[in-house]
Structure 1
Amino acid sequence: MHPRCTAPRLAARSLRGLTPRFGAHLHRNAPARPLNPSQARCMSMANTYTETLAGNPEPLAENILNLSWGLLEILHNCGLSWAVALPASAVVIRACIIMPLFQIPSRKAQQTTASLLPLTRAFHIVKKHSAHMAHYSKGPRVAQAVTIRSVAKYNHQIRKRWGSQRWKQMLPFCGLPVFISMAEVIRRMVGTRSGLWGLVFGSGSYAAPKASEQVSDAVTTDGVTDALESVAEWKGTTSLPSSVPETLSNWLEPSMAAEGMLWFPNLMLPDPCMILPFAVSGLTMASIYAGSKAPHKGHEKPSFFIFKRVLMTLALAIGPMTLNLPSGILLYWCASTSCAWLSHIYLDRFYPVRMPPTPCKRSIPYYPKKDIEKMRQQR
């Protein structure tokens, strides 16, 4: 869009009768004016998207984080304290993004797959008999391989026809990047230097561009910047201390130091009572248990049982490994895990997976050698 012409006493109507070249000349030679803040933001966003299209991945990641930060700011500007805004953001994300886009389509695909089991089982039996009759002379291994390939192809075709592909059942894992982006934004807002991995294991680097150079003079022995200690001293001020790096000062929220609740009034510091880490561990175990129930009790496969035990063990280890995490991250983690647990209960109540009756365990007797001899005699 061309800037508005600022020639003195030149109305817009007088430009209609001018030739296109002369009108463009007036617009091009109009004196430039400084951009207002909204126009400056638009220009900066345009430059950001231009850099993104040019192949620079950092602006794209920052824009994704800006969406998460915007959600938190909207909830906080509605009058909610940070101790309420963080759990509320987890509820909003679970209700508006993860449930309708990932969990419900995945559960519907599981229901369709369960309804198609009688067809796949019947095809497997028929194909097994026909393969043994056709490849009896080549041995049972050849017949079994032919049966497996035919059944796999049939399953793929029937799943695609009814819209229950395997990738749809893996959609709930797409919610993990959403959780990581929210945790990263909260980490920057509380002034923590390292990410989740660095806070847990004590070694990590800030993910912002050139952050290792900017935070080298602000590192403490606990792997957290001086902002955590400085905020406790300057709760009532609005200025940031000089020890806070520039990359952190753009994201840091000093109000988090005074908008906690209950036994953790400061969301920038770890939980003094160590209740939140073990609450996260317990809620994660409950969510895994609720989301990994077998449709038929007592008929779990050994591999599924082992995988479930491994997940439960990892969930149990979350408590001791997250003792140094700030209370703000743990509070959001608790709310997100609680929403996941409740969503599993909701899906089991309104979208249950009903398994069809299993076929008879007694196999149908067939004699491929005699059948082949009968076919030869009929010819």
Structure 2
Amino acid sequence: MLRAACRPRLNAPASLLLSPGATLQPRHAQSRSFTGGQLLTGVQTGFEAGLQTAQHVIVSFHAASGLSWAITIPLVALGVNLLFRLPFTAHSDLLAHRRSKAVPVLQAWQARLLREAVREKVPSDKIKDVVTKRTERETRRLYAALGLQSWKLWTVLMGVPGWMMSLGAIRRLCTGAGAADQAGAVATGSAALGPAAGDYAASVSALADAASHTAQSTFAAEGMLWFTDLTAADPYYILPFCFAALTAVNAWPQNKSTRETLFPRLNRLLTRSPAGESQPETSPEPKSVAVSAVGGWRGNMTKFLVFGSPMLGILTASFPAAMHLYTITSASSTLVAKHILSRFFVTNGGVEVCKHREIPVIRPKIPRKPMPEGSGVKPLAS
């Protein structure tokens, strides 16, 4: 008994327990394969369903309000900005406002890091890069401790999909093209997602398709001013370049230090110094903290929107007038919202660097002597 109990248990393979002639069938683990194609199909189906839903909502709002399309489209743009873009813009401005409060501290740290680099005898040709890298590292550490990381500024892009879906819906209402292709794409993607999604997408596609034919006929007759046909492009190219100008104005920084950092020459041309006042040449200094606050993708995007706005007007010159009416209203409302938010979330540029113009004495006022009568010279106004 003890010998049998101590004997190790043998695990015989399954093939020894089978009868002669029997074969084993391989067993595969049940798993769901998920490929990039299915992900792309799901995104495409969701975007198509969003476009069809936005199209149906716009047509329903136009039918319920009884207004012309020249008034309905700006109201739709205002609603989209209030629902999708304003909350994320306010959150981004709040983060920028809180980050600006830490700029004076970072400027003091930058001066300390510069003194440390001089004490460490860093070569003069490398001291600028060394101080810049150390300042950026300390900036990231401080922003992370305060919960003001740079990735949180990307939340402003979360309102773009809703804006794009509404713009795409207006484009489809203008052209009326691709209804059959859209229905086929929705049906194909819905079959991959399931029967419930297929029924919903098919019903939404049928409603939007029926409404688009009715709306397209009214688009050509419910314009305003010189663009009476909203399905045609502006013959005078006023609308596309008006949209380009509003885009540049929206992208132009309101903060003085940000303008001096991103657009030094353009800002110098727009804000000329008084006659006789020369701009002193300063020695090259390490990268300022203000650059790190507006640099990166945000600074590059701002430069692209300001300098590339004329090209934007050229590229969109052939778009229907309804799309320009939507984008112009959206850009105008964004400009107004930006101006209002700047009153609540003031962004400070930090302590201004000394320009070597100050003198250690107070200049006395020059006494104004009365001019003799008959000289023809008028005294200076006080």
How many angstroms does 1:296 deviate by? 1.9
Aligned to 1:342: 336
Give the match for residue 252 of structure 1.
212
Paired residues in the alignment total 261
Q: 1:358 to 1:87 in 2, by over 3 A?
A: same
Retained in 1: the 8 A contact 2:80–2:163? no
**1:92 equivalent among 48, 70, 79:** 79
Displacement of 1:168 in angstroms is: 3.6
Q: CA 1:151 to 1:270, structure 2 compared with 1: closer, same or farther past 3 Å? A: closer
Q: Does 1:71 align with 2:31?
A: no
On the 8 A contact 1:113/1:159 being kept in 2, the answer is yes
Which of 246, 262, 274 does residue 286 from structure 1 map onto? 246
1:117 deviates by 0.8
Deviation for aligned residue 1:116: 0.6
Cα shift at 1:104: 0.9
Contact 1:131 1:144 in 2 (8 A): no
Match of 1:180 in 2: 164
| SS of 1:357 mapped into structure 2 | coil
Unaligned runs of 5+ in 1: 1-50, 195-205, 212-245, 363-379
Match of 1:103 in 2: 89
Q: Partner letter of residue 93 of structure 2?
A: R
- Matched residue type, 2:232: L
Secondary structure, aligned partner of 2:256: coil
CA–CA separation in structure 1 for the residues paired with 2:51 and 2:133: 45
Choose the corresponding residue for 2:48, options 36, 41, 62.
Answer: 62
TM-score under structure 2 length normalisation: 0.56
Contact 1:280-1:337 within 8 A present in 2 as well = no
1:152 CA displacement? 1.6
Query: Over the residues paired in the alignment, what is the CA RMSD in angstroms?
Result: 3.8
- CA separation of 1:359 and 1:64: change in aligned 2, threshold 3 A: same
Q: Deviations over 1:33-86 (max 9, x none)?
A: xxxxxxxxxxxxxxxxxx977964331221222342243134224324333222
TM-superposed CA distance for 1:173, in Å, is 4.3
Instruction: Give percent identity, aligned residues only.
Output: 16
Distance 1:53 1:356, change over 3 A: closer
- Which amino acid letter does the alignment assign opposite residue 309 of structure 2? A
Separation in 2 of the partners of 1:319 and 1:354?
33
Residue 262 of structure 1 aligns with an amino acid whose one-letter code is M
Per-residue CA deviation, residues 4-61 of structure 1 (Å, 9 max, x unaligned), is xxxxxxxxxxxxxxxxxxxxxxxxxxxxxxxxxxxxxxxxxxxxxxx97796433122
Q: Against the structure 1 CA distance between its residues 59 and 104, is the aligned structure 2 distance closer, same or farther, given a 3 Å change threshold? A: same
Higher RCO (CA < 8 A, seq sep 6+) = 2
Per-residue deviation at 1:290? 4.4
Distance (Å, rounded) in 2 between the aligned partners of 1:332 and 1:261 = 13
CA deviation string 1:99-156 (max 9, x = no partner) = 11x21111112212221111111111112222332x32x6446665553333222101
Residue of 162, 167, 174 corresponding to 1:190: 174
Q: What residue identity is the alignment partner of 1:341? A: L
What residue number does 1:166 align with? 150
Deviation at 1:299, TM superposition (A): 5.9
Counterpart CA distance in 2 for 1:69 and 1:299 is: 40
Change (3 A) 1:257 1:117: same
| 1:1-379 mapped onto 2 (5 Å cutoff) | 56-81=42-67, 82-100=69-87, 102-133=88-119, 135-136=120-121, 139-140=123-124, 146-193=130-177, 208=182, 249=209, 252-258=212-218, 260-263=222-225, 264-271=227-234, 274=235, 277-296=237-256, 300-301=260-261, 311-312=305-306, 314-360=308-354
User: Residues 267 and 54 from structure 1, CA distance in 2 versus in 1: closer, same or farther, beyond 3 angstroms?
Assistant: closer
Classify 1:79/1:209 alpha carbon distance in 2 versus 1 (closer, same or farther; 3 Å). closer
Query: How far did residue 182 of structure 1 move?
Result: 1.8
Query: Could you list the per-position Cα deviations for residues 235-286 of structure 1 after superposition, in whole angstroms to 9, with x for gaps in the alignment?
Result: xxxxxxxxxxx9x956724234225132444433334xx35x4234224413
| TM-score (normalizing by structure 1) | 0.57
How far apart are 1:321 and its partner, in Å?
4.2
Task: Answer whether contact 2:252 2:306 (CA < 8 A) is retained.
Answer: no
Call closer, same or farther: CA 1:209–1:63 in 2, change over 3 Å. closer
Which consecutive residues of structure 2, in runs of 5 or more, have no partner in the other structure? Answer: 1-36, 186-205, 267-299, 357-382
Measured in 1, the distance between the counterparts of 2:81 and 2:258 equals 31
Structure 1 residue matching 2:212: 3-state secondary structure: coil
Change (3 A) 1:108 1:304: farther
Quote the Cα distance in structure 2 between the aligned partners of 1:283 and 1:326.
Answer: 13
Q: Deviations over 1:279-313 (max 9, x none)?
A: 34224413422441342279613557677676345
Q: Secondary structure at the match of 1:281?
A: helix
The answer (yes or no) to whether the contact 2:84–2:162 under 8 Å persists in 1 is: no
Further displaced range: 90-99 or 324-333: 324-333
* Contact 1:65–1:182 (Cα < 8 Å) also in 2: yes
CA distance in 2, matches of 1:54, 1:116: 42
| SS of corresponding position for 2:347 | coil
Q: Structure 2 counterpart of 1:288, which letter?
A: A
Preserved CA contact (<8 Å) 1:278 1:319? no
User: Alignment partner of 1:300: what SS?
Assistant: helix
